Chain A
Amino acid sequence: MRLRTTTKSTALVAVAALALTLSACGGASSAGGGEDSKEFTYWSMYKEDEPRAKVIKDAVAAFTKETGIKVELVFQGREVLNKLQPTLVGGNVAADLVDQSQFKIRDTLAATGNARDLSGVLDAKVTGESKTVGETVPKAYQDLVKDKDGQTYLIPTNVQTWQVFFNKKQLPDVAANPPKTFDEFIALLDKRKAAGKAPLALDGDILAYVDQWVSTLMIRELGAGNWKKVLEDKSGAGFDKPEVLKAAQNAEKIGKGKYFVDGWDASKFPAIQQKWAQNKADFLFMGTWGPSETGEIAGKDFEYGSFPFPKTAGGHDSEQASLYGYGIPKKAKNGGAAEKFIQFFLGKKWMDRLATEEKSITVRADVPAVKELQGPQKALQDAGAIHVSQDGAEGMSDWETKITQPLSKKLISGQISAADYVAELKKSTVNWWKANG
């Protein structure tokens, strides 16, 4: 019967189509070595008009000239790993080398078993220099970029940290004598407020910036590595520690003090940091990208100064490091050639250019940062310990967006008390672990 055959064949087509789609997700897996390749593909997180892109382009050209290895360079922008991800499934991974933040490379490559172990690069010499990559990149950073099996998934090139920024010309006293303790800091804020100034700036619509206040206070009170333990304790018992309440009370002081400039919680980024750059607020607790983001607005009369987030009663002085650098997919066909480029790019010449042109803090101690970032660079070198964002609690990303960030905002805007914050955070986190553990 005509009708039935039609149905049958359409069903066949549907099944075939489905099979096709599903099989595309299986794919062969062959670990590529490609030690002697004469070419590789490099996908960058930068856009072509960024200062970093120019440095990369020049480095690639010089690398090809020196080694004869051709580089197919594509500036993919910040979504680079989201674009790479589908190609990790089959046998044809689209790029041999990617640059991104430590977390992005960890979550897309290392956590899914798709990262090439770069320990070998650490042992290799930086191109044209006597030291190895491992001797050039500080040990503290090397420890941060190892996965659970001890394999290195990232070779960092530059680092960002958080500092309290201000205008030296407006606040020469602070430049000469920055607050060392949290109490001194609060006293300073009170003084500025009494003088009719808005002491603090914060773009409240970026919840990660809001939460940075609270998590920094937690790590200051508990010490690096211990906030992570509190968060990863599924019973929630860690929240009962007195240090947690103490840190929350410090955050409450910020909230109840009403230090933030008017409109901070009802504006669109970057409105408030621009206000700060126009001297309408005194201090901005921000990543070291702050000066380049606000430079145009701040103008010539603004001299950037900064100090590390003050120590609290806990006495811990660790600094936060957000690392950026190179990762190689495990299945990359030309991974060997890509590794050679990493060795090349870590050379002093290129790191110097990153420092001056991109204004980044490079991982090399012998490359000074630009003037406004020499403080943060020194803070990182002097820090008693290094921690990463949210103290490195892993696999809790949706906990961050759904639980801690909204709560931190309530605390920092003075809507809830420290005790309520801790109780609510404990309850929600325990529930979160029940659903996600």
Chain B
Amino acid sequence: MSTASAEVRESGTALQPSRALPDPAVTPPGAVIDVPVKKNDKRSDAPTSPLQRGRRKLFVPFVGPAFFLYAVAIVAPTLFTVVLSFSKWAGSGPIEWVGFDNYKRLWYDDVFASSFGNTLLILFGVGFGTFLLSFFFTTVLREMAGRKFVRAVIFFPNAVSALAISILWGFLFQADGLINKVMGALGLDAPPRWLADDNLFYVICIGLIWINTGFYTTILMAAVDRIPITLYEAADLEGANAWQKFRHVTLPMMWDAVAVSATLWVISAIKIFEFIYVFAGAAGSTPTTKAWTLSLYAYAEAFQPTGVARFGASAAATVVTLVLIVLLIVLTRRVTRRESLEF
């Protein structure tokens, strides 16, 4: 999940509704709070104590450098991408302004539509599978002996480079691969052709669930570990079964972690790239378009195997992806918004 952090910050700040008063829940103790000031109330604008005055003086020196870096490294390139999406540009040479042509092309491009569909399939389908498994492991592992070891094992796929995993998966699933050999030994005459164009994307989905489950299980487990054992003892005394304990104790108590995980998932799901690129594509060539997602689409537009690079078209696809991420995060935050429980 190395890719998520920057965008988390980005979307977090972008989406923070401008509140009249800062949310105490998100403001760390001791933070300087800028309270909006009514125009006619001159006095409340003046710092009330020397300490506060000093703090205010430090606001710019402390925030400035970070803000500058953020603006240069993230905001400016993002704006540049938006500008670029209205152009035709090969990465060098003259820039030609083409208005909404790049977006129009996306609209008419069947491959863009299928890439969009695949992205949604990963987002919801793989997301559903991943979280279902993560909840399952969380519930089971909570009471299991040797849980730390098991947790490490589940986390393992996430720690290994996606490149290594995708190469390994290629060997496992190809026509003469290990999986089909085992199936053949078990007496299956016609084992599935996993890597055929029509099946490839589903194998990718399974791989993504396998890779991501460990990560989210780890986050959720950390939250579950903090739940006081007494609550479970009380539930036991009242005769709750495993599902009831999950539904009425575990889930509400770890809700914050679930909300964070959901947000992280939305961002990373839309950006998933290298696993598909290496697993489905051979020797540096672009994979079959049936396995493309939005991020692969954007990449393939810019860096074509032959032909002049099309940064404008790529930028347009990226902007659409960005809008999708923003919309979905707003949605995720709304859906997962609950009062956090203090315990």
Contact surface of A with B, Cβ cutoff 8 Å:
1-3, 6, 9-10, 13-14, 17-18, 20-22, 78, 82, 85-86, 88-89, 103-104, 107-108, 111-114, 203, 205-208, 262-271, 389, 394-398, 400-402, 406, 409, 431, 434-436
Indicate if the CB atoms of A263 and B282 lie closer than 8 Å.
no
Bound Cα distance from A103 to B305, whole angstroms? 10
Minimum C-beta distance from A288 to chain B (A)? 16
Q: What are 20 A-B contacts with C-beta separation under 8 Å?
A: A14-B75, A17-B71, A18-B75, A20-B76, A82-B303, A85-B92, A85-B309, A86-B92, A112-B92, A206-B282, A267-B175, A268-B282, A269-B282, A271-B174, A395-B308, A397-B304, A400-B305, A406-B197, A435-B105, A435-B108
The contact of A21 among B72, B90, B91, by CB within 8 Å, is B72
Which of A13, A208, A268, A270: most chain B Cβ within 10 A?
A268
Indicate if the CB atoms of B68 and A13 lie closer than 8 Å.
yes
Indicate if the CB atoms of B285 and A206 lie closer than 8 Å.
yes
Q: Is B207 an interface residue (CB 8 A)?
A: no
Indicate if the CB atoms of A435 and B109 lie closer than 8 Å.
yes
Which B residues lie within 8 Å of A113 (CB)?
93-94
Indicate if the CB atoms of A268 and B304 lie closer than 8 Å.
no
Which A residues lie within 8 Å of B93 (CB)?
88, 111-114
Bound Cα distance from A9 to B59, whole angstroms? 13
Which A residues lie within 8 Å of B300 (CB)?
398, 401
The contact of A401 among B105, B196, B289, by CB within 8 Å, is B289
Closest to A271 in B: B174
What 1/0 mask marks residues of chain B from 58 to 88 whose CB sits below 8 Å from any chain A CB?
A: 0110001001100110011101100000000
Indicate if the CB atoms of B90 and A13 lie closer than 8 Å.
no
Q: Is B236 an interface residue (CB 8 A)?
A: no
The contact of A17 among B76, B280, B306, by CB within 8 Å, is B76
What 1/0 mask marks residues of chain B from 1 to 41 whose CB sits below 8 Å from any chain A CB?
A: 00000000000000000000000000000000010110000
Q: A21-B77, A111-B90, A398-B310 are in contact. Are A406 and B56 (CB under 8 A)?
A: no
Minimum C-beta distance from A172 to chain B (A)? 29
The contact of B284 among A2, A78, A85, A111, by CB within 8 Å, is A78
Minimum C-beta distance from A197 to chain B (A)? 17
The contact of B67 among A3, A13, A397, by CB within 8 Å, is A13
Indicate if the CB atoms of B306 and A107 lie closer than 8 Å.
yes
Which A residues lie within 8 Å of B90 (CB)?
107-108, 111-112
Q: A1-B45, A397-B305 are in contact. Are A402 and B68 (CB under 8 A)?
A: no
Name the 3 nearest CB pairs between A and B, nearest first: A397-B307, A263-B175, A112-B93
Bound Cα distance from A309 to B288, whole angstroms? 26
Indicate if the CB atoms of B91 and A86 lie closer than 8 Å.
yes
Which A residues lie within 8 Å of B303 (CB)?
82
Q: A263-B175, A436-B105 are in contact. Are A207 and B288 (CB under 8 A)?
A: yes
Closest to A207 in B: B288
Which A residues lie within 8 Å of B109 (CB)?
402, 435
Size category of the binding interface on chain B: 35 or more
14 further interface pairs, Cβ-Cβ under 8 Å (given A108-B92, A271-B174, A271-B176) = A17-B68, A18-B71, A20-B76, A85-B92, A107-B306, A107-B308, A108-B90, A205-B282, A207-B288, A262-B175, A263-B176, A269-B282, A402-B289, A406-B288
Q: Is B156 an interface residue (CB 8 A)?
A: no
The contact of B71 among A13, A85, A104, by CB within 8 Å, is A13
Minimum C-beta distance from A20 to chain B (A)? 7
Which B residues lie within 8 Å of A395 (CB)?
307-308
Bound Cα distance from A10 to B71, whole angstroms? 9
Closest to B73 in A: A17
Bound Cα distance from A208 to B281, whole angstroms? 12
Indicate if the CB atoms of A112 and B72 lie closer than 8 Å.
no
Q: A85-B92, A401-B304 are in contact. Are A265 and B193 (CB under 8 A)?
A: yes
Which B residues lie within 8 Å of A263 (CB)?
174-176, 193
Indicate if the CB atoms of A401 and B305 lie closer than 8 Å.
yes
Which A residues lie within 8 Å of B80 (CB)?
18, 21-22
Which A residues lie within 8 Å of B197 (CB)?
265, 406, 409
Which A residues lie within 8 Å of B307 (CB)?
103, 107, 394-398, 400
Which of A267, A406, A435: most chain B Cβ within 10 A?
A267
The contact of B104 among A9, A267, A435, by CB within 8 Å, is A435
Indicate if the CB atoms of A111 and B285 lie closer than 8 Å.
no
Which A residues lie within 8 Å of B286 (CB)?
207, 401
Which A residues lie within 8 Å of B193 (CB)?
263, 265-266
Closest to A329 in B: B92
Bound Cα distance from A85 to B196, whole angstroms? 35
Q: Is B275 an interface residue (CB 8 A)?
A: no
Bound Cα distance from A366 to B60, whole angstroms? 72
Which of B45, B110, B308: most chain A Cβ within 10 A?
B308
The contact of A398 among B37, B77, B301, by CB within 8 Å, is B301
Indicate if the CB atoms of A89 and B196 lie closer than 8 Å.
no
Which A residues lie within 8 Å of B170 (CB)?
268
Minimum C-beta distance from A110 to chain B (A)? 10
Bound Cα distance from A409 to B34, whole angstroms? 62
Which A residues lie within 8 Å of B110 (CB)?
402
Bound Cα distance from A395 to B310, whole angstroms? 10
Which B residues lie within 8 Å of A82 (CB)?
303
Bound Cα distance from A206 to B287, whole angstroms? 8
Closest to B282 in A: A269
Which of A22, A88, A266: most chain B Cβ within 10 A?
A266
